[in-house]
């Protein structure tokens, strides 16, 4: 057993070893702690950096706990969904109406194709534009919530684009019945939290 811990600790980075011996010490068995201490001695790691690494790890842990405590529940997410669904339908109807004034396709297949393009185009545009620009959709403005990365930082445009396309995954909406963060949150590494700035 002791050799297994030594093997595991030998694969850890210096920073991971320091975290194990400082901030995360309570999570590990005594044999694992001994193996980490042995590895630090073996590598001749300067223990004067422990304080700095401990402070950084503690700050990261506190930030993560703060984000986790502000993650909104499934009920609020459902309200966001309903409001955004209605806004998207109205938006899709307006865009369809305006395009219908200029384009009068006679082929039934062409009408269907344009319809699908409008439905998916307005859906993607609504979520992507709103969340890139404001970190919110209309539903999130109403419920005073916003999209953040899992660590609480503002998501990049790429994160929002990934999040938006992941919404198209079948059964994504049902995933909220089982977990706080749905499929599109998990895959894009984002979440929805209470907006404390409002």
User: 4-49 pLDDT, tens per residue?
Assistant: 888 888 899 888 888 888 778 888 888 888 888 888 888 887 777 6
Within its chain, how far is the Cα of 195 from the centroid? 15
pLDDT, tens digit (0-9, with 9 covering 90-100), for 88-121:
999 999 998 888 888 777 777 887 888 889 999 9
Task: Find, among 28, 38, 27, 55, the residue nearest to 3 by Cα.
Answer: 38
Number of helices and strands in the chain (H, E): 9, 2
Q: Are residues 60 and 86 in the same domain?
A: no
Contact status, residue 146 vs residue 189, Cβ threshold 8 Å: no
Going from the C-alpha of 187 to that of each of 6, 9, 118, 130, 142, the distances in angstroms are 34, 30, 25, 19, 25
Residue at token pair 């049902």:
174
How far is it, in rounded angstroms, from Cα 36 to Cα 42? 10
How far is it, in rounded angstroms, from Cα 25 to Cα 99? 63
Using pLDDT thresholds of 50, 70 and 90, give the confidence band for residue 136.
very high
Using pLDDT thresholds of 50, 70 and 90, give the confidence band for residue 87.
very high
Please say if the pLDDT value at position 141 is more than 80: yes
Q: Are residues 44 and 85 in the same domain?
A: no
| pLDDT, mean of residues 49-66 | 79
What is the CB neighbour count within 10 angstroms for residue 110? 11
Residue that finishes a domain, picked among 69, 93, 121: 69
Q: Are residues 181 and 124 in the same domain?
A: yes
Lowest mean pLDDT among 37-51, 126-140, 154-168: 37-51
Predicted pLDDT of residue 175 = 82
Q: Are residues 187 and 89 in the same domain?
A: yes
Q: Are residues 172 and 75 in the same domain?
A: yes
What are the backbone angles phi and psi of residue 146, rounded to the nearest 5°? -150, 165
Q: Are residues 121 and 155 in the same domain?
A: yes
Q: Are residues 60 and 77 in the same domain?
A: no
Q: Are residues 116 and 184 in the same domain?
A: yes
Range of 76's domain? 71-194
Task: Find, among 54, 57, 60, 56, the residue nearest to 149 by Cα.
Answer: 60
Q: Are residues 23 and 109 in the same domain?
A: no
| pLDDT, mean of residues 181-186 | 89
Runs of H (alpha helix) within 103-182: 108-134, 138-143, 157-166
Residue that finishes a domain, picked among 41, 69, 97: 69
- The count of domains in the chain is 2
């Amino acid at each position: 057993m002791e050799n297994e811990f030594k093997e595991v600790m030998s694969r850890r980075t210096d920073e991971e070893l320091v975290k194990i011996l400082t901030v995360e010490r309570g999570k590990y068995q005594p044999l694992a702690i001994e193996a980490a201490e042995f590895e630090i001695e073996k590598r001749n790691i300067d223990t004067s950096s422990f304080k700095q690494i401990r402070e950084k790890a503690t700050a990261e842990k506190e930030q993560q706990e703060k984000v986790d405590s502000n993650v909104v529940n499934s009920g609020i997410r459902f309200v966001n969904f309903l409001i955004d669904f209605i806004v998207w339908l109205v938006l899709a109807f307006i865009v369809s109406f305006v395009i219908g004034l200029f384009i009068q396709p006679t082929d039934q297949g062409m009408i269907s194709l344009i319809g699908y393009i409008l439905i998916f185009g307005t859906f993607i545009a609504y979520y992507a534009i709103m969340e890139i620009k404001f970190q919110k959709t209309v539903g999130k403005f109403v419920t005073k919530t916003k999209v953040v990365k899992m660590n609480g930082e503002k998501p990049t445009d790429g994160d929002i684009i990934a999040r938006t396309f992941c919404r198209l995954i079948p059964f994504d909406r049902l995933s909220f019945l089982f977990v706080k963060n749905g499929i599109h949150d998990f895959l894009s590494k984002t979440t929805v939290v209470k907006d404390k700035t409002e």
